[in-house]
Amino acid sequence: MFLPAPPIYPVAGIREIEARVMPGAKPSLMERAGRAAAEDAVRLIIDRPGPILVACGPGNNGGDGFVLARHFRQAGREVLAAFADDPARLPPDAAKALADFRASGGEPVSSLPSAPADGWALVVDALFGIGLGRPLTGRHAEWIAALSHLPAPRLALDMPSGLDADTGRVLGTAFRATNTTTFIALKPGLLTLDGPDHAGDVSVQRLDVDAAGWLEPLGHAVRPSLFSTLLAPRLRNTHKGDYGDAGILGGDAGMCGAALLAARAALWLGAGRVYAGLLDPHAPPVDVARPELMLRPAAALPGHLSALAVGPGLGQSGAAAALLREAIARDVPLVLDADALNLLAADPALQRALAGRAAPTLITPHPAEAGRLLGRDTAAVQADRVAAALELAARYRAHAVLKGCGSIVACTDGHWYINGSGHPGMASAGMGDVLTGLITALLAQGWPADRALIAAVHLHGAAGDRLAREGIGPVGLSASELVDTARGVFNGWMVEANRSGNGG
């Protein structure tokens, strides 16, 4: 059975939930958090003797650390709690947690102790959590740098300290955890940009708080449950016309491979017919590897398409711009990628035409393309990926995926999703073309535009993950190897959906 898609909240949302829950919370949320983190920690050190080091900070995250430290002391483990801040300035709940730790016989030390001869059983980062909004400097930065290199399981409480909870940006320096126990719900910064490299394996401890019951989430982590009702088995009484005609427009001189990759992906994900319109006047008349594809001159794509993608290998010539203009005018679901996005970014008339479309539009920029579309540099896009993706969706009236580590799917209704499938070996030429083909295939088969984008992004990464498990990559994985595996993963999802009754 497919697991539910967990909600994701920015810090403001978590704070609002906490403010609503805390007045009547018994035991306190801090007590619940420290106990839950201790339960996660036990699983990390089940076979590891030796002392535990807990670095506690000046706020409530430090209080969570003192609760965890107390629980381990009471269980008979040796615990050293490092705390270099003024106890008088602790928030009330954190001050109580420190007092309770002292009552259990513990006493914090003001500097990081040297590692014992046999090393630490566990290192816990309870310095800042989600409460940090500035770059770390001074002693705290030195502590994080030292803790991150200790050869032991490294557990962060709520967020690795120094990692922005909303964006995944490193604020000066950030703790490198092997594991993170996060509280109440996921935060965006755990899942995108630098988050996955710093958070390690993430466990969500809800603390008996029904987050969605207190505040409706706009963000979710992508899981197949988001689109499982569309994974219906095909009827026996069917024909190719029931599965749509997909068009791929691109393939200028020297770049035909990009369009063919996209077309092959669309074919292998079930589109009934696939047409590839190629700009290169010397393009081959047939794809000998996939003779089922129907190759055409770019201007000769049929008018009866069910879905159209423009961009793979398109180039930025005047002819390419004219073809893009014509494609935008078609009343058909439209996917724009690669040079179609670069042409769009440079032409306000195209932008106005796109915003006026009645049929769905989907755009698939990487960060540099997103920057061009938004009129800013790549660093500004990466500084807040969720906000950038939402701005793209709103400005262009299009469902958008901002590709990268933790790809962000932003929909025109304001909902957003973070995808966790995929791996660094997929940072290679042609991967985006395959994604474009997968999206177009689902659109051609009648999937709603937002679900088609979410499913294709997740499938793309899941296929890469399966190949890596089979020893194909991550290093050296090529885009063409992904197509067959994506088909296999998708068919496996269909089997699972219909076995569990989730299929439509």
245 annotated to bind ligand: no
- Is 404 annotated as contributing to ligand binding? yes
Considering Cα of 41, then 46, then 48, then 51, what sign does the dihedral take?
Answer: positive
Amino acid letter, 315: G
Q: Is 420 annotated as a binding residue?
A: no
313 is in an annotated binding site: yes
Omega of the bond leading into 23 within 30 degrees of 0 (cis): no
- Judge contact between 67 and 157, C-beta under 8 A: no
Sheet bearing 122-126, strands edge to edge: 79-83, 52-56, 122-126, 154-157, 179-183, 201-205
| Strand 7-8 relative to strand 361-363, pairing | unpaired
Pairwise CA distance, residues 77 & 239, whole Å:
67
Instruction: Check the annotation: does 164 bind a ligand.
Output: no
Residue 388: partners with Cβ closer than 8 Å, 6 or more residues away: 370, 374, 380, 381, 382, 402, 408
Q: Is 40 annotated as a binding residue?
A: no
CA distance 189 to 164: 6
Identity of the amino acid at 27: P
Question: Binding residue per annotation — 303?
Answer: no
The reply to whether 96 sits in an annotated binding site is no
State the DSSP H helix or E strand holding residue 148, giving kind and residue range, or none if neither.
helix 138-148
Is residue 258 annotated as involved in ligand binding? yes
Rounded to whole angstroms, the Cα distance separating 11 from 7 reads 13
Residue 132 labelled as part of a binding site: yes
Asked whether the beta carbons of 94 and 62 are under 8 A apart, the reply is yes
362 is in an annotated binding site: no
Q: What letter would DSSP give residue 186?
A: B
Could you report how far apart the first and last alpha carbons of the chain are, in Å?
14
44 beta partners: none
403 is in an annotated binding site: yes
Q: What are phi and psi of 479, to 5 degrees?
A: -60, -40
Helix (H) or strand (E) holding 319, with range, is helix 318-329
- Angstrom distance (rounded) from CA 450 to CA 411: 6
Residues 105, 111, 115, CA angle at the centre, nearest 5°? 85
134 is in an annotated binding site: yes
Structure tokens at 42: 């036990």
DSSP annotation of 131 reads: G
Query: Tell me, what amino acid is at 10?
Result: P
CA dist 422 → 137, 251, 276, 343, 459 (Å): 33, 26, 27, 28, 9
The answer on whether 129 is annotated among ligand-binding residues is yes
Residues 216, 222, 225, 229, Cα dihedral to 10°: 100
Is 158 flagged in the annotation as binding?
Answer: yes
Residue 46, annotated as binding a ligand: no
| 366 is annotated as contributing to ligand binding | yes
Sort strands 245-250 and 273-278 into parallel, antiparallel or unpaired: parallel
Is 194 known to sit in a ligand binding site?
Answer: no
Binding residues for AMP: 403-407, 432
Where is the binding site for K(+), in residues?
Answer: 61, 125, 161
Residues at the binding site for (6S)-NADPHX are 60-64, 129-135, 158, 258, 313, 366, 433
Binding residues: 60-64, 125, 129-135, 158, 161, 258, 313, 366, 403-407, 432-433
